[in-house]
Chain A
Amino acid sequence: MTLIELKPGQRSRIVGWTSAAPPARLLEMGMLPGAEVELIRFAPLGDPIDIKVRGFHLSIRKSEAQLVEIEST
């Protein structure tokens, strides 16, 4: 499953990326296989989302979250 399928408050672990060339910025911010992620909330209009990874809050768009594969919960 992908990151977008989490519900607010749910946590999981990143398994990998569905894209061959994931955005380098997100990798550098620590969104690597093995890292824990929590979906905190959706923005008021549904996009982007607020996630917590490696202890900090990061906002990414749904289109990017779709590229992140996570362990099924």
Chain B
Amino acid sequence: MLEQSLIQSYADELFDALSNQTTVEPLTDRSPEMTIEDAYAVSNLLLEKRMTINKEKIIGKKIGVTSAVVQNMLGVDQPDFGYLTDAMVIDESEVLSLSKKMIQPKAEGEIAFVLKHDLIGPGLTASDVIRATDFVVPCFEIVDSRIKDWKIKIQDTVADNASCGYFVLGQNVVSPRDVDLSTCGMVVELNGEIISTGAGAAALGASPVSCVVWLANTLGKFGVPLKAGEVILSGSLVPLQDVKPGDYMSVSIGGIGRTSIRFD
């Protein structure tokens, strides 16, 4: 376990980087002994600063590192998670200013879950998640890293609140009982050109539901529930895409609907 003072100073650094749109050297270069638990401790302090200084409110959670490609890249066999706050929400009608708000943004097509009941793990199954889900909705998450050049190890991204940025939700919502979340297809377009396709099973080799099961059971061990009304981003089903001012993207999901986002 890293010294508490070091954990605090990493959280301070990341908070300043977030506020000033700057980057820091990878934490794992400076503290190679950092564990994933240390990283979550940094993430919690970072979140605390966002809540106390910026007055941000938690509105949900996000799951990352859910695809085999990203897990292999980071050398891990499990996902990670971060918190969503009200400051991360973008509406479809808005244009996201990359120059004013982001550092090195990348877009991910995802399926978001909105809960109607609390989920308190451990011991939860896919059926529990489906029963607790009000609806699923198409989502773009625009991730960002406060770590220089995205040179992240798993500990770096965990400490940096799972490389959170902004997210937009679509306006078509569907009950998880009415769509097969394992085979539903995803088509992502950048400036009108199809750049990638995927399907639900890209998430943990099973389905986005399994990602939410993992999160609820993992947080449950620490007594943290997923709460009714929260938005849960379940992780990307396609490769991450760099974006720049002037770009627009859309994502369509079979049996669910679509959403889009514009950047300047």
Binding partners A and B: no
A residues sitting closer than 8 Å to B (CB atoms) are none
Which residues of B approach A to under 8 Å, CB–CB?
Answer: none
